[in-house]
Amino acid sequence: MRFIFLLLLPVLWSSALWAQTMTFSSVTGNSGLTNDTGGVEIFGGLAGPPCSSGSGTCNNCASNPIPACTNGTTPLCACNTNRIYNNLPLTITVTKTGGAGNLAAQYTANGNTQKLTLSTTSSTSLSVPWLQLCVAMGRTSCEDDATTLPLTVKIFSDDNADEALSTGEASIDVNVTLRDPGDDYHVFGRINSDGVNGFAPYPGDSKIYMENVDASGSFPTLSYGGEIKSMRVYVSDTSLSDATPGDNKLESQDLPVAGEGTEVDLTNSIVDGLENGQLYFFRIALIDDAGNVVQFFPDLVLEDAAAELACNGNPSAECPYSATPDEVLGLLSEDFNCFIATAAFGTPFAPELKVLREFRSKILQHHNWGVWFIKHYYKISPKLAPFIFDKPWLRATVRAGLWPFYGFAKLSLTYGFANALMALTGVFALVAVGIAHLFKRRHARA
């Protein structure tokens, strides 16, 4: 019996090894993380000045005063609330079954497999300084501006303590990526013009709605490689120059970005927590997958001198980046069903409503008759919308009645209001001629 057990021992040992599994659990000392079906990718963000020491990432967006930057103007300098630096330890924790060895790590560069020298290691976690990772990616340090190479780190359970991945030892691959905007991505248009180049705040009830958010270039991916994940909105109740990062400011809000294209798709476009009747000023910046805050817009100096004066304390003029929340005029995030069009389409996010809102902001608001229409529309909507919303047949009827308005709005936004009006006049003229011809034929028969 003992002889048989000894014969089976190698098989049992081999089975135990093959039964080992390892999965990614968590990470600290990083600026960003993607963990999905595409794998694990850990990001290090390098916008703004580095920290000299510490045990965690640093927030150089909260400095007061914010350090000056090349190709930018304080306080509009790219920054990162979780910036990495050379001696910052990157600590990765895994979950594994089987195998009692401590973790080890290696990477392949130029066809050669090289081990990483770890600061600390255990059976479930390891730490490595970012400096070693940056050097592995082709830099002399993390602060070097050299082009970085992709880096895949293989983490494994070093059960036989030979510091090399052996057959049967559990392992996982982790991609490590640096995002370094350099000195070209502080302010939109100062050097590079990829990112968001326009927006219009529209007043809501204790909130504003970010409309007409336009982008240029290869958005959401910027030229340095960063993929934009959200748009940060800075708010001030004094002037546009105060709507910037730093202490003693109104709290900024991040709006997640979804999709691609020249018109930015925000999964949430509402900045809330504002006071009705108070004039607010808004500036935006972009946040990439490594937490870098880049491409502030608009610049401190606006191209339009009148707009610059209006945005910095002149109440007699209108600042294009300001809005005053109002309890009647606006879009209510929790009360969208108080509006006829929303009630008819059943959701505030219907693409048809997006066109109608854009028509309101770009055309109706710029004409006295359009402002009159908006005010009266929002006055009667709360009374009619709930009545419409609860009756599917009435919703369908109203929705059908709104289609001509949607078509006219779409034509106006695409070809201009005057051209759309001419086209509509032509249609009415053709219909009138057709009806007159029909009546003439009937009269002749009679």
Identity of the amino acid at 440: K
Mean pLDDT for the chain overall: 83
Asked if 241 and 300 touch (Cβ cutoff 8 Å), the reply is yes
Tens of pLDDT, residues 405-414: 788 888 888 8
Identity of the amino acid at 300: L
Residue among 218, 226, 214, 215 nearest 178 (CA): 226
The answer on pLDDT for 337 being more than 70 is: no
The answer on pLDDT for 384 being more than 50 is: yes
Please give the pLDDT value at position 187: 94
283 torsion bin: left (phi>0), alpha (psi -120 to 50), beta (else): beta
Tell which wins on pLDDT, 200 or 370.
200
With bands split at pLDDT 50, 70 and 90, how would you rate the model's confidence at 315?
low
Asked if 303 and 194 touch (Cβ cutoff 8 Å), the reply is no
Rounded to two decimals, what is the model's pTM? 0.73
Tell which wins on pLDDT, 108 or 32.
32
Mean pLDDT of 100-114: 90
How far is C-alpha 391 from the geometric centre of its chain's CA atoms?
37
Tens of pLDDT, residues 46-97: 999 887 767 789 898 877 677 889 888 888 999 999 999 999 999 999 999 8
Residue among 390, 379, 380 nearest 344 (CA): 390
The answer on pLDDT for 400 being more than 90 is: no
Tens of pLDDT, residues 159-182: 999 988 998 899 999 999 999 999
Mean pLDDT of 339-350: 63
Whose tokens are 């790219």? That residue is 78
Please give the pLDDT value at position 347: 60
Please give the pLDDT value at position 77: 93
The answer on pLDDT for 108 being more than 70 is: yes
Please give the pLDDT value at position 355: 79
Tell me how far apart the alpha carbons of residues 58 and 51 are, in angstroms, rounded to a whole number.
Answer: 6
The answer on pLDDT for 3 being more than 60 is: no
Mean pLDDT of 19-40: 92
Residue among 436, 314, 417 nearest 360 (CA): 417
Residue among 193, 110, 98, 104 nearest 149 (CA): 110
Residue among 18, 32, 37, 71 nearest 289 (CA): 32
ω into 298 cis (within 30 of 0): yes
Q: What is the 3-state secondary structure (H, E, C) of the chain?
A: CHHHHHHHHHHHHHHHHHCCEEEEEEEECCCEEEEECCEEEEEEECCCCCCCCCCCCECCCCCCCCCCCCCCECCECCEECCECCCCCEEEEEEEEECCCCCEEEEEEECCEEEECCCCEECCCEEEEEHHHHHHHCCCCCCCCCCCCCCEEEEEEECCCCCCCCCCCCCEEEEEEEEECCCCCCCECCCCCCCEEEEEEEEEECCEEEEEEEEEECCCCECCCCCEEEEEEEEEECCCHHHCCCCCCCCCCEEEEEECCCCECEECCCEEECCCCCCCEEEEEEEEECCCEEEEEECCCCCCCHHHHHHHCCCCCCCCCCEECCCCCCCCCCCCHHHCHHHHHHCCCCCHHHHHHHHHHHHCHHHCHHHHHHHHHHHHHHHHHHHHHHCCHHHHHHHHHHHHHHHHHHHHHHHHCHHHHHHHHHHHHHHHHHHHHHHHHHHHHHC
